[in-house]
């Protein structure tokens, strides 16, 4: 738990804790807010499935999100990638079940979802539609939000849109959380730097007390010139943001899928001591499991027939797989 002026902040899951996520719980004097209640693993990386250690970290993160969601009055979903929301079905790589969906989303005062727009990819529109239908069955009313703000007592949530990076991935919802004029938090998931210069300028000009920022996907640079450009521009913007706000930027997500992320930041003049991570806030060791998946398979090989086990448990919660390992 981290206390920043009027906020109590608990990072729940991200790459520094061994999983794909950016989920956090924020408590203000007025309200408890859960941002992006989702977690997942990459089904393939280095042409390998997740290592058993990744599934163990996933199960722990899923339990944290379900448990801590019980305190949340407001839930926000920034976009419709499955590491940012919990889907309404059983899934191995999200380690979730129907019961988890009900536990997380039922009995909440407010459920705020990123509004669909012309840039929203088809697969995200489909997930949003399925999610909305599942909410209706639960009797939960979800509100789509875009640019604008809403208040709960003296706590204000403001929203603006930022590019996810590649033009194929659409936009994400960036959240600015303020309590009076005393405290400001920015939650910027999947902004990849931010690579979007307009979003970068907006964040740079905001006098924030802490910002959670999804960094650029360094590990994708070799795939295309566009992704190389995204990674470099995103890294330059992230470095500038950190230099202007040392020890107030929490770096997360795509950046930490690269084992050399510290060296990459150092090339732009940013020392590791000037950034925070979810793991450092929680007082946990930095646990980059996906970034080190190949090393995990070499140093601690899974049991014989492991891939067959994954096929057997596909479409089932990962705790069932772990019982057999």
Q: What are phi and psi of 159, to 5 degrees?
A: -130, 145
Instruction: Give the tokens for residue 204.
Output: 């740079």
Q: Give, as one character, the DSSP assignment of residue 222.
A: G
Element (H, E) at 76: strand 74-77
- Percentage of residues of the chain with pLDDT beyond 70: 99
pLDDT tens profile 102-141: 999 998 889 999 999 888 899 999 999 999 999 999 999 8
pLDDT tens profile 236-282: 999 999 999 999 999 999 999 999 999 999 999 999 999 999 999 99
Q: Which pTM was predicted?
A: 0.96
pLDDT at 169: 83
pLDDT at 227: 75
pLDDT at 132: 93
Is the model's pLDDT at 194 over the cut of 90? yes
Structural domains for the chain: 2-324 (3.60.15.10)
Query: pLDDT band at residue 310, thresholds of 50, 70 and 90?
Result: very high
Is the model's pLDDT at 4 over the cut of 90? yes
Greatest Cα pair distance in the chain? 58
CA dist 23 and 94 (Å) reads 13
Is the model's pLDDT at 167 over the cut of 70? no
Instruction: Give the tokens for residue 206.
Output: 């905001």
pLDDT tens profile 199-248: 999 999 999 999 999 999 999 877 778 778 888 999 999 999 999 999 99
CA angle 311, 126, 64 (to 5 degrees): 60
pLDDT at 77: 97
């Amino acid at each position: 738990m981290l206390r920043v002026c009027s906020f109590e902040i608990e990072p729940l899951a991200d790459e520094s804790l061994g999983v794909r996520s950016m989920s956090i719980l924020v408590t203000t004097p007025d309200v408890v807010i859960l941002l992006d209640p989702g977690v997942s693993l990459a089904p393939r990386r280095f042409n390998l499935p997740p290592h058993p250690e990744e599934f163990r970290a996933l199960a722990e993160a899923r339990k944290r999100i379900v448990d801590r969601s019980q305190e949340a009055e407001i839930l926000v979903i920034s976009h419709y990638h499955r590491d940012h929301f919990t889907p309404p079905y059983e899934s191995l790589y999200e380690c979730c079940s129907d019961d988890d969906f009900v536990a997380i989303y039922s009995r909440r005062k407010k459920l705020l979802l990123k509004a669909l727009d012309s840039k929203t990819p088809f697969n995200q529109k489909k997930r949003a539609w399925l999610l909305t239908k599942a909410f209706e069955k639960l009797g939960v009313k979800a509100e789509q939000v875009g640019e604008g703000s809403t208040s709960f007592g003296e706590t204000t949530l403001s929203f603006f849109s930022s590019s996810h990076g590649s033009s194929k991935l659409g936009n994400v919802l960036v959240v600015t959380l303020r309590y009076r004029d005393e405290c400001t938090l920015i939650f910027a998931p999947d902004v990849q730097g931010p690579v979007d210069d307009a979003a970068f300028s907006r964040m740079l000009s905001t006098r924030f007390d802490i910002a959670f920022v999804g960094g650029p996907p360094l590990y994708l640079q070799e795939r295309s010139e566009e992704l190389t450009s995204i990674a470099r521009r995103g890294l330059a913007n992230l470095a500038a943001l950190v230099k202007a706000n040392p020890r107030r930027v929490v770096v997360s997500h795509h950046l930490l899928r690269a084992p050399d992320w510290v060296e990459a930041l150092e090339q732009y003049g940013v020392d590791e001591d000037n950034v925070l991570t979810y793991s450092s806030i929680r007082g946990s060791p930095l646990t980059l499991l996906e970034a080190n998946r190949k090393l995990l398979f070499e140093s601690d090989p899974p049991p014989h027939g492991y891939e067959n086990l994954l096929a057997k448990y596909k479409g089932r919660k990962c705790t069932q797989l772990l019982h057999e390992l």
